[in-house]
Chain A
Amino acid sequence: MLPCVIRVRKKGTRPVADESGGLSIRPMDQFEVKALFGGDIAWYTPTNVTLWMALTVLAATALMVLGARRRAIIPSRGQSAAEMAYGFIYKMVEDVAGHDAVRFFPHVFTLFMFVLFANLLGLIPFAFTTTSHIAVTAVLALTVFLSVTALGFILNGTKFLGLFWVSSAPLALRPILALIELISYFARPISHSIRLAGAMMAGHAVAKVFAGFASALGAIFFVPVLAVTALYALELLVAVIQAYVFTILTCVYLRDALHPSH
């Protein structure tokens, strides 16, 4: 028992003993990638990333496959939730990206399910949030960016470049606008990925800092505990909203690829 050392055990971190004594909250430890069975991390090593991504697949499958397994005309609660998710994303694709984007609905839906369940599972104490890693969100955003750009050129040919040529603006302004449009177009994957990873990382880090305060403050521990509780509710909202934002941005980019004219 070390009276001066605060132990913060959250999200699977080892107890940390600070030699200098005093407050030792390590909010970033929860994001560490660790091999499940020890050893170095090679590209194929099963890590906590593997575990939590597998759980994400399981959760999404449980909702969408097990929930709807009875194929009832009058749905059970699980089936209602699955149908609601289906209808929500279907309508989003149709409304935002247009009716001809419906053939990409399975792709968009997969993306939504992954981000949603990765975010939500990350909120379980001691969980690992796969979407808090820029490597993950950047791959997702780049995949969207590259496939949407390729799709734009395949479907529209050079007319896809009309996306950057604002024909409604005065002719003199158009080259400048084209430059701005081009920069903003290439900024898309950056903002798309950093938004999600940043929101996830920040929320979890702040939650951990408050949790650390709770053990440091002694008698008035309930103040940070209340704060963590409120924060947790907020994070639940953020988890869903970020999944929604990620998906709707994908739909917006998809619409640009299908209908590049301004």
Chain B
Amino acid sequence: MADDATSGPGMPQLDLTTFSNQIFWLVVTMVVLYFIMSRVALPRIAAVLADRRGTITSDIAAAEDFKLKAQEAEAAYNQALADARTEANRIVEAAKAEMQAELDVQLTKANAEIAARSAESERHIAEIRDNALAMVTDVSNDVTKEILTAFDVKADARSVTAAVSARLKGGAA
């Protein structure tokens, strides 16, 4: 493509007549941009970043603190729980021991009563048996006397009694 007179050289980049203009405006631009960045933008962002870092650090510290407190509370709770359990066990043990003692006393008393009653009963039974035996002896004596009277056999009371008791003893043996 041919350049006409107005468009200058093929590459506008090599048109030296515009260099001073570009360089002047570039210097102005860079100075302005540098002051905006270094005086306003960068300190502001640095402050924001530092603020955030501070906030995060303090938040983490606070969280750590809360965690510690929570752990303490949990330990206290567990301690209380353990204490309560021990106390409960102690009470249960005490109650059990008390009940056992009471039971033992009652049991002993009951056993003694049972023993006393059975002894009484045995005594009573023995009495009845003795009575019955005595009655049997008396009846035997009377019946023997009556029979001897009926057969007109003369016998004194003493020998009859001795014979009957000997007979009863022999029968029993």
Complex partner residue of B23 from A57, A86, A107, A139, CB under 8 angstroms: A139
Binds B, one of A42-50, A229-237, A250-258: A42-50
Which residues of A lie under 8 Å from residue B159 when comparing CB positions? Answer: none
Binds B, one of A129-137, A157-165, A181-189: A129-137
Complex partner residue of B37 from A44, A54, A106, A130, CB under 8 angstroms: A106
Which residues of A lie under 8 Å from residue B12 when comparing CB positions? Answer: 28-29, 31-33, 133
Q: Which of B102-141 contact A (CB under 8 A)?
A: none
The answer to whether A71 touches B7, judged by C-beta atoms less than 8 angstroms apart, is no
Smallest CB-CB separation from B31: which chain A residue? A110
**B contacts with A: majority SS:** helix
- Mask of A91-124 contacts with B, CB within 8 angstroms, 1/0: 0000000000000011101100110000000000
A-B CB contact pairs (8 Å), 30 listed: A24-B1, A25-B1, A26-B7, A28-B10, A29-B7, A32-B7, A43-B23, A44-B24, A49-B26, A53-B28, A53-B29, A64-B42, A65-B40, A68-B44, A71-B51, A73-B55, A79-B48, A82-B41, A82-B45, A109-B37, A109-B42, A110-B30, A132-B13, A133-B12, A133-B22, A134-B13, A135-B18, A135-B22, A136-B26, A201-B13
Interface size range of chain B in the complex: 35 or more
Alpha-carbon distance between A64 and B10 when the two chains are bound, in angstroms? 38
Known: A24-B1, A32-B8, A135-B18. A65 touches B13 (CB 8 A): no
Smallest CB-CB separation from A198: which chain B residue? B13
**A56 on the interface (CB 8 Å rule)?**
yes
The answer to whether B37 touches A64, judged by C-beta atoms less than 8 angstroms apart, is yes
- Mask of B33-59 contacts with A, CB within 8 angstroms, 1/0: 110111011101111110110010000
Within the complex, the shortest CB–CB distance from A1 to chain B, in Å, comes to 22
Q: Which of A2-60 contact B (CB under 8 A)?
A: 24-26, 28-29, 31-33, 41-45, 47, 49-50, 53-54, 56-57, 60
Residues of A within 8 A of B (CB): 24-26, 28-29, 31-33, 41-45, 47, 49-50, 53-54, 56-57, 60-61, 64-65, 68, 71-73, 75, 79, 82-83, 86-87, 105-107, 109-110, 113-114, 130, 132-136, 139-140, 197, 201
Within the complex, the shortest CB–CB distance from A30 to chain B, in Å, comes to 9
Q: Tell me the total A-B contact number using a CB cutoff of 8 A.
A: 136
The answer to whether A110 touches B34, judged by C-beta atoms less than 8 angstroms apart, is yes
Known: A41-B18, A82-B41. A113 touches B33 (CB 8 A): yes
Alpha-carbon distance between A132 and B48 when the two chains are bound, in angstroms? 35
The answer to whether B13 touches A133, judged by C-beta atoms less than 8 angstroms apart, is yes
Alpha-carbon distance between A71 and B32 when the two chains are bound, in angstroms? 23
Complex partner residue of B36 from A24, A65, A140, A197, CB under 8 angstroms: A65
